[in-house]
Structures are given as C-alpha cells and as structure tokens.
Structure 1
Amino acid sequence: MASEAYNGAQWRLGEAKKATAAAIAAADAATERAATERSGLAALATASAHHGGALNGLTAFFAEGGPEEVMSEVQVAKSASDSIQARFEQFKASEVMAKTARTRAEEAQTKQAGLVREAAQLRDVATQAAQSAQRQASAIAVQRQQLISELAAAQKISVSLARRRQAGLEKIAHDKAVSAAAQAAAHAAAQQAEQAADQAAAGSGSNGGSGSSGAGSPGRPAVGTTRAAARAIEFARAQLGEPYVWAAAGPNSWDCSGLTMMAWRAGGVSLPHYSAAQYDETEHIGVTDLRPGDLVFWGDTPDTIHHVALYIGNGQILHAPRTGRDVSIDSMYYWIPPNYFGRP
C-alpha cells in the first residue's frame, strides 16, 4: 500500500509536470503576443502623429485640392485614430491574457513543487514500510524455525521431517482458505448478477430502459486484442521468480503495477505506473466477465486501489505480490477477494 501510494504521487507529479510545461509555454506565447501588439501600436501611433501633424489651418487654406482634399485627409486622420484605438484595445487584451497565463504558470509550478515534496515523503514512508516488513518477515522466519525444531524434539522426529509435515499442514490450511474465499466471492457475484438481472427486467418492463449489471461501467473502451493479451501474459511469465522491489518496473525486479504496466506495454497498450490509474484507464468489467489478460484490483474504493494482478485464466493470477516475495502465480483468492476488474 505504501508503494502504490508513492507510485500515485509520482504519477500525479508527472501529470503536474505536463501541466506546468503547457502553462509555461502558454505564458511565453501570450507574452510574445503582447510584445508584438505593443510594437505595432507604437509604430502606428508614430505614423499617425507624423501624418496628423501636417493637418493644420495653413494646410487647409493652401491645399491645392481645395475642401475635398482637406476632408479626405481628415477622414484619413480619423481612420488612423480609430485604428490606434482598436490596436490599443487589442494590446490591453493581450496584456491581460499574458498576465493570466503567467499567474497560471506560477500556480502550476507551486503545485508541482508541493507534489515533489509529497512524493519525497511517500518515498520515505514506502522505504520504511519495506524495511519494517522485511525485518518482521525475517524475525518470523527465525521464530518459525525455532518452533519447528522444538516440535521435532517433542515428537522425537528429525527437523527435516517436522518441516515437511508443517509445510503440508500449511498448504492444506491455505487451500481451504482459498477455496472458502473463492466460494464466498462466487456467491457474492451470483447475488450481484441476480440483482442486476432483476433491475434490468424491472427497468425494461416499466419504461423500456435497461438496468445496469455492474459489469461494464467503462473507464475507456477496450483497445487490446486476444493476441495483445497473450503477449502481455507471455511477458509477465518471463518474469516469474524475479523479486518484488517497490517502485520497480524491470528489467529484473518489479512492483505490482510496474509488472502489469510493462506486460501490457509488450501487448501494445500504454498504462501508467499506478494501480488506481490503471483501473481508471481500463474498461470496467465484472468478475464473471474475466478473460486472460484482464487486470484484477484490490481496494475498498477505486481511489484506494493498492494492488493489481494479471489474470491468466482458471481463477489464477500472475503478479508481483509484496516485499519478500517474488513474481509468482497464485489463486485469485490467495489473499482476500479482489474488488475491481478491468480490461486494457
């Protein structure tokens, strides 16, 4: 969870950098337009002053063309004045736009600086969490070995035999837990499907509309193909046995969203290095719609998603689980049932 919180901060920082760059470019362009308007206004004012200065009483009296020529020159002077006013209004508008653009650029830079600090803080939190988890895992492993040794002595058997027996008992307990979780999830999915069918029938009978099954609330249209999904799975399989390292996206170590991001990149689909954002950028589906290559997510809400895995069929997932475990294949219910499902 700490790792994905850091990935989320990095993703938000990346988006902020893009926004900052765009805001700075807009501010530069607006400033350049204002400078161009200022130069044009100055040139127009200078030319108008030079022309208008000659239009005085003597000019009108001695004009060879008589009153008609004088009136023509008056009209020219008026047009020049109108042009100056229009150009001045345009210049003022450009100045306002430039000022607004500069303010937005400054705000974007301030936001980016705040996100840099947030990412640094979450990086430290993730580092501490990983180190703490590793220490606890090591301590538990030592304690487990001591208990197995005591058990072997009490039962008057070898430590090796006691270890094998314990591993067998743990596997039985694990399989039972996975089976129970799968049954509970299947029951919940069946209830949801039944409720959705009832809602659809009620909607169709009352107003011709259709209910929602909850299986297709789209984040974005699906763009992958079966061949693309196969390439994603093939890439992920090639990483089996490589270690989990938080914030890693290859080539020899991975975190959960780093693995799914690079797997689907091999399939030709670009996803962010952040599980919650990956869910946002996939087509939202139901558990009964899963097919190989889809993504499986864990989180109480879409905003709190903190783990993602690649579904490979038959109720199995391929993923980078956590600190202390390597990339592996597990039951989709190896831990707790996933909450959300997406198709790249």
Structure 2
Amino acid sequence: MRSPSLGTGLLALVLTAGVFVPGAQADPGTPKPGTPGTPTASEVRAAQDRAVAAQGAVGVLQRKLDAANAELDAASVRAAKAAEAWNGARWTAQQARIAAREAATASKAADRALAVQVKQFRDAIVLAHNSGLDLNAATAFVTADGMESLLERSSASDYLQARFDQRRNEYVAAADTAEKASGKAAATSQDAEQALADARVAKDAADAAASDAAVAATAIEARRTRLVARLAKLQGISVRLARKRQDAILLAREERRAAEAAAAAKAVKATPAVAHDPKPDEPRPGDEPAPPADGDGARAAIAYARAQLGKPYVWGADGPNAFDCSGLTSQAWAAGGKSLPHYSVAQYDVSTPISASELRPGDLVFWGDGPSSSSIYHVALYVGNGRIIHAPRTGRPVSEDSMYYWRTPDFYARP
C-alpha cells in the first residue's frame, strides 16, 4: 500500500519545486520502483497533471489579480479627474467673483465720474449767468432734463455754445461708460452665480466619484484577498507570503516600467522647448541640469513637499494635514515664494512650458488625457534624478516615486 505522506510530499514537491522529469538520474537514497510506499508511474503522472492544472489555475488567478489592480487604478483615475474638475470649477468661481467685484467697483467709479460731469456742466451754467449771458438761457440750462434738450433751448453765445458742446461730449462719454460698466457688473455677477452653481455640481460629482472609488477599492481589495488566499493554497504557501509576493510583483513591474522609460529617455536627443508641444522629449536621469539656485524658491518648495511625505490624500485638500495633487504643489511653491492656483490646469497655464529634457528640481510634471493642456488632471513636483513627490490618489499618501511609476508624463512646466 502506498504511503499517503510520501504521495502528498511528492505532489507538494511537484507543485512548488517544479515538474517531474522522466529519465532524470535518481537520488541514491530514492527507493526503487516497486519498493513498498513508492508512488507508481500512474500516480506520478497524475501528480504531474495536477501540477500542470495548478500552474494553469495560478495563471488564471494572477490574471484576475492583475485585472483587479487595473480596475482599482481606473477607479482612482476617475476620482482624480473628478477632484481636479472640482478644483477647476472652484477656481473658475473664485475668478468670477473677483471679476464681479472689479466690475462692481468700476461701475461705481463710472457713476461717480458721471456725477462729476453733471456738476461741471452746472458750474458752467452758473459761470455763463454770472458773465451776463441771457438769464433765460442759463435757467434753461439748469432746468433742462438732458443735454440735447438743453442745447435745443439754448440761445447762448458762441463761446457758451462751444463750452456746452465740450460738456455735452464729456457727459455723453461718461454716461456711456457708466451704462456699460453697469451692464458688465450685472453680467459678471450672473457669471459668478453660475460659476458657483457649477462648482457645487462639480463638488457633488467629485464626492460621488471619491465615494465610488472608495467602494470599488474595498470591493477590489476583498476580491484580491480571496484571490491571494486561493493562490496561496495552490502554491502551498501561507497567505502572508502570497501577499508579499503579490506586492513584490507590483513593485517589480513599476520598477521595470520606470527603468524601461528611463532607458528610452536617455536615447532621446534633447530638443529646444516648444510651448505648445504636449509631448516633449523625455528627461535623462543621471544627466541632470544644475540644481536651482537658493533664491528661486525651488529648494524651499522641495523641502516643503518632502516634509509632507506620508500625509494622506484627500481631494480638495491643501494642507496642513492632507493634500490632493494640486493642493500639494500649490502649497510647496507657496513655501518657495510663488503663488500657484489650486488647480493643475491653471498651474500649467500660469507657468512656463518646457520640454522634459529641460527639467530641473522644482519644476512641475503633469498627466492629461489628450494633446491639450485642458485635459490635465494630475500634477507632481519634480525633485531630480527622474523622481517626483506627489499626492497620488485616495488610499495612497504623499510619496516620492519614479516619474515613470505609472506612465510617462504628458506636460512639463516651470513656475
């Protein structure tokens, strides 16, 4: 009768150490075929078949794990896009409020200017009266409803007529300015209200996307846990070890992708920066430009960003305890003495576009969905040697990574 323990041990050996190779030289201590307790040839073949099946199952499970990871990444990207869309809507609303305040101020100034013109005109009437001009004409000037009516009723001298013409032109210009300023104030006020409403809608969308991403992350993590447990059982290892192997697989893939991208970047010849070029040359790690001078703020920006490592990602946050991507870069450069909007698209717009080959520590790198900078939805701070500091996404804190940890950036700019 075959020994169960020996048969089980052989199966485990086939599953974890490799496939049995017929004809291989036997170990001197291995029992010869036919020895009691030795598996038969059919049992060995069955064990081999089970090993092959197990390897196939392992492959299936690994593909499912890869799909789960990709699904989690996609959910995170959707949440990041929604968060930056809200940052954009909020920034637009802020700009609209500023424009509305400026327009209201301009309208008040125009009204004051019009009042001055009216007073100056009436002063001219008093002067005409004191100069001995026709009192009836002067009275008409004072009581006239408008310049046109006044001029029609006037019988003043040529001098007074010229003076009235001058005042009339000034009055008409002031009245026109006041009317336009009033209309602009009303329009910008409406724009501000609409922008605020849009921001509220975008905030709700960002909140929903973040909630969806969190739910998806929980579900995907539960699925990954089940898959890893099944994988561990098939491989005959502990769940803890299987999880460590999965983490190592993900890390190895990121490192391989980063190394391949960096190697490709080294082979690209540098070209001059083109402001409208959305796909500039890749940086060449190891051939870094000179570090920024102390006075340009980049060192302070990098130091600030490094001090935030490990803090959580929260969409819409700009510190001090949590950040989203553009919140981190805006606060980092605030420490460097430059003001950047809390919105990745606007950060690119107010900065100087550069090529990737011109990158130096303190510059910004961006990811987008298309050839236009309006598609940007993620930003990071370049710290040199092909590395960035950024607030990646929900579930991942502020971290320092390879610039290629995910995929090659699409845009580059210098604040």
**Alignment TM-score, normalising by the size of structure 1:** 0.80
Q: Partner residue of 2:243?
A: 163
Partner residue, 1:295: 364
> CA offset at residue 123 of structure 1?
1.0
Q: Secondary structure at the match of 1:115?
A: helix
* Amino acid in structure 1 at the alignment position of 2:309: L
Aligned in 2, Cα 1:90/1:149: closer, same or farther, shift over 3 Å? same
Are 2:104 and 1:24 aligned? yes
Deviation readout 1:278-322 (Å, 9 max, x if unpaired): 112222222122121111111122121111101111211100011
Task: Indicate conservation of the 8 Å contact 1:217/1:283, yes or no.
Answer: no
Give the corresponding residue for 2:73.
none
- Give 1:86's aligned amino acid: Q
How many residue pairs get aligned? The number is 299
1:7 corresponds, among 56, 77, 87, to: 87
1:327 maps to a residue whose letter is: V
Q: Deviations over 1:237-271 (max 9, x none)?
A: 11111111111110111011110111011111111
Q: 1:254 aligns with which of 286, 304, 323?
A: 323
Change (3 A) 1:215 1:32: closer
Q: Structure 2 matches for 1:1-344, cutoff 5 A?
A: 1-45=81-125, 48=128, 51-53=132-134, 77-187=157-267, 189-190=268-269, 193=270, 196=271, 213-214=272-273, 225-227=293-295, 228-299=297-368, 300=370, 301-344=372-415
SS across alignment from 2:216 = helix
Q: CA RMSD in A?
A: 2.4
What's the TM-score once normalised by structure 2's chain length?
Answer: 0.67
- Percent identical among aligned pairs is 41
Superimposed CA distance per residue, residues 111-143 of structure 1 (whole angstroms, 9 cap, x where no aligned partner):
212211111111111111111111111111111
* Contact 2:273-2:358 at 8 Å conserved across structures: no
- Residues 78 and 338 (structure 1 numbering): CA distance in 2 closer, same or farther, change over 3 Å? same
Per-residue CA distance 1:144-184 (angstroms, 9 max, x = gap): 11112222223332222222222222322332233233344
Q: CA deviation at 1:217?
A: 7.0
Taking the aligned partners of 1:169 and 1:90, their CA distance within structure 2 comes to 78
User: Any runs of at least 4 consecutive aligned residues in structure 1 with deviations exceeding 6 A, and if so which?
Assistant: none
Read off the aligned partner of 1:298 and give its amino acid letter: W
Contact 1:247 1:255 in 2 (8 A): yes
Q: Which runs of 5+ in 2 are unaligned?
A: 1-80, 137-154, 278-291
Aligned equivalents of 1:243, 1:341: Cα separation in 2: 25
- 1:67 is aligned to none
> What does residue 221 of structure 1 align with?
none
Distance across 2 between alignment mates of 1:77 and 1:163: 101
Change (3 A) 1:47 1:289: closer
In 1, Cα distance between equivalents of 2:122 and 2:275: 61
Contact 1:48 1:81 in 2 (8 A): no
Residue 133 of structure 2 aligns to which amino acid in structure 1? Answer: G
Contact 1:185 1:337 in 2 (8 A): no
**CA–CA distance in 2 between the matches of 1:94 and 1:20?**
21
